[in-house]
């Protein structure tokens, strides 16, 4: 879908989150993000990027997992 592709391109073009294993799905203006990010900041950033795309009504990140930080 065109909307999912736009979100994927926007994520891929942001150096802070480019290359992360994130799958984008789109349905009726709703974006679902699935995958793994390293930090909560990255999760919030990816959400913000997706939300900023024209035509996106809602972004769901329930399936976007944050890796647990190493606790020494």
CATH code that applies to domain 2-66:
3.30.1340
Region 19-45: what's the mean pLDDT? Answer: 97
pLDDT beyond 70 at 56: yes
Q: Concatenate the DSSP letters of all residues of the chain into one string.
A: -HHHHHHHHHHHT-TTTTT--EEEEEETTEEEEEEEESSHHHHHHHHHHHHTSTT--EEEEEEEEEPPPP--
pTM: 0.90
pLDDT beyond 90 at 59: yes
pLDDT beyond 60 at 71: no
Region 6-27: what's the mean pLDDT? Answer: 97
Inter-residue contact 54 to 7 (CB < 8 Å): no
């Amino acid at each position: 879908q065109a909307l999912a592709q736009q979100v994927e391109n926007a994520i891929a073009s942001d150096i802070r989150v480019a290359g992360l294993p994130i799958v984008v799905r789109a349905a009726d203006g709703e974006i679902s993000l699935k995958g793994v990010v390293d930090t909560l900041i990255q999760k919030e950033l990816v959400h913000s990027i997706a939300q900023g795309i024209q035509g996106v009504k809602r972004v769901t990140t329930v399936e976007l997992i944050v890796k647990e930080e190493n606790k020494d």
